[in-house]
A and B are shown apart, each in its own frame.
Chain A
Amino acid sequence: MCMAIPSEVISIENGMATVECFGVTRQASLLMMDGQVAVGDYVLIQAGGFVAELVDKQTALETQAMMAEMLAHQAS
C-alpha cells in the first residue's frame, strides 16, 4: 500500500544500516544518503531497500503512533 513508516537506525556497517521499527529489524542501503545518517536517526526506506530520507524524531514517533493505532485496531 506504499506505506513507509520511519525506522530508527540501530547500527551502520559497510554502507548498510540496520533499522528497527515496532521490534522488526531490517537492512537498508545508505547509497543515496552521502554519509548524512547516524545511529539514532530515523529514516524512510524506499522501494529496493534504500534509505531515501531522514525524518526528524518527533515526526517519526508521531507517524509510528498513527501506525500503531491502526495496527491495534486491525488486531482487535
Chain B
Amino acid sequence: MISFAPEGVIQVQLVLERGRIAAVRLRPRPLPPLKALLKGRQADQAARMLPRLFSLCRIAQTCAALNAIEQALGVAPPPAQSAARLVLTLAETIQEHATRLTLDGPLAFGQAPDVETAKAVRRHIAALVPLICKNDDWVRPGGGRLSPRPNDLADWLEELRRLILSGLMAGRDVSALLEVKDLRDWAQGQGSAPARLLQALLKPGLAGFGASATGLMGHLDSGQVMARLAASDWESYAQAPQTAAGLCLETGPLARQNDHRLIRTLEAESGHGLAARILARLLELAQTLTGIALALPLLMEGEGVDLPVAGGVGLGAAEAARGRLFHWVRLDAGRIEEYRLLAPTEWNFHPEGAFVQGLKGAEAADAETASALARRQGLALDPCVGLEIEVSHA
C-alpha cells in the first residue's frame, strides 16, 4: 500500500498563548518528483501527461508546460494558439472562482451553497474546448490544430456572461460598483450565494481577518525565478520562494485585482483580509469575461509550428485561478532531461508568508477555534490545499 496525499498536505503547527495564536509554523510540502516520471520522454508526450496529474487546474498547468517547452526549443506559437490558451485559462479561472463563491465559500461560513449555479458554470465551461478544437488538439508544444467556431463561441460567451450576471452577481455587475457602501447595499440584497457570503464577510472583525502586510505579487523578475529553479538547491526555493530581496509575496486573485477601487477602499478599511480576498474573486469574474471577449476574435483556424529536435532550458508561466505558476524544463535532443515546478501555493504558504502572517495574533480561545481560523485562512488563500493542523499551548 502506498500512503500519500496527492493534493499535497501542508502541516501547520499553531501555538496558543493567552487566547491568541502566538506562533504559526509550517512544514513545506514535498515536491512531486516529476523528473522521475518525465525524464527521457518526448516533450510533446510530457505536455500531455502533466494535465492528467495536475487535474485540478489542468489548463493552467498545461499552458505553463507548453510555454516552458517552447522557450527551451526556441519556438514561438502562432498568435491564435496563444489566444486559445488564454481563453481556456481564463475560463478555468471562472470555473474555479464560481465554485469557491457558490459552494465551498458559503459552506465554510455555515451558509447554503448554490449547487445549481456551480454545476451550470462547470457544465458550460466544459463545453468550451470542442468549440475551439477537436479532442485536446491544442495541447501540443508549438501549437496544435485549431478549428474555432466563431458563432458558437460568441453564443457561448453570452451564455457565460448571463450565468455570471444572474447566478453570481444577482443582476448587477459588481465590478462596476465604485464605493464599498454600494457593495454593502448589493450584498444586503442577498440575491446570490456570493452576495450572502460577502454580506457576512463585510462585518467588522471578519472583513479584516487574515490580513497581513505581505506584499502582493505584481511584476516578478522571471530571470530570478529561472535562475533559482535552475540552481542545484532549487528544491529549497520551490518549497519556500521569496524575491531576490528576500520578500514573501501573496499571489492569486487579490494580487491581480489589487488596483480595483473597491479592493483599495476595503484595504484602507480593514486590510487585505477575508472580505478583500473573496471580493477579488468576484471582481475577477467580470475582468475575465472581458479578457475572453478580447481574445476570442484572435482565434483562427490553423496549425502550430514544427518543433526542432533540440535542447535548451525554458521557463513557462501561467496565471492559474490560485495564482502564478511556473514550470521549468531542460531538454536534450527534444526529450525531457529535467523538470521542475513552482506552484502558487508555496508563495502563499511560505513559512513567513501571507497565511502565517495573517494568522499570527488572531484571537482563539481554544484549539478548536484556532484550527477553524487556520482552515478559513487556508480557504481564502488556496482552497486546493489540505491542511493538517496541530495546536499546542505555550
Contacts and interface: CB of A to CB of B under 8 A. Distances in A.
B115 A1 contact: no
A32 to B, nearest CB: 6
Given A2-B8, A3-B6, A22-B4, A69 B37 contact: yes
B341 interface: yes
A34 B36 CA distance: 38
**Chain A interface residue number, banded:** 20 to 34
Given A1-B8, A32-B119, A73-B36, A50 B103 contact: yes
A67 B34 CA distance: 10
A3 B34 contact: no
B281 interface: no
Given A63-B53, A66-B37, A3 B7 contact: yes
A35 B8 CA distance: 29
A63 B8 CA distance: 17
State the 10 A-B residue pairs at the shortest beta-carbon distance, nearest first.
Answer: A73-B36, A23-B1, A48-B104, A1-B8, A47-B383, A3-B6, A2-B56, A47-B384, A22-B2, A5-B6
Nearest to A3: B6
Contacts of B277: none
B348 interface: no
Nearest to A24: B3
A29 B3 CA distance: 22
B2 A68 contact: yes
A66 B52 contact: yes
Contacts of B37: 66, 69-70, 73
Given A2-B384, A67-B6, A22 B1 contact: yes
A13 B24 CA distance: 38
Contacts of B56: 2-4, 44, 46-47
Interface string A11-33: 00000000001111000000110
A45 to B, nearest CB: 8
Contacts of A62: 52
Contacts of A74: 30, 33, 36
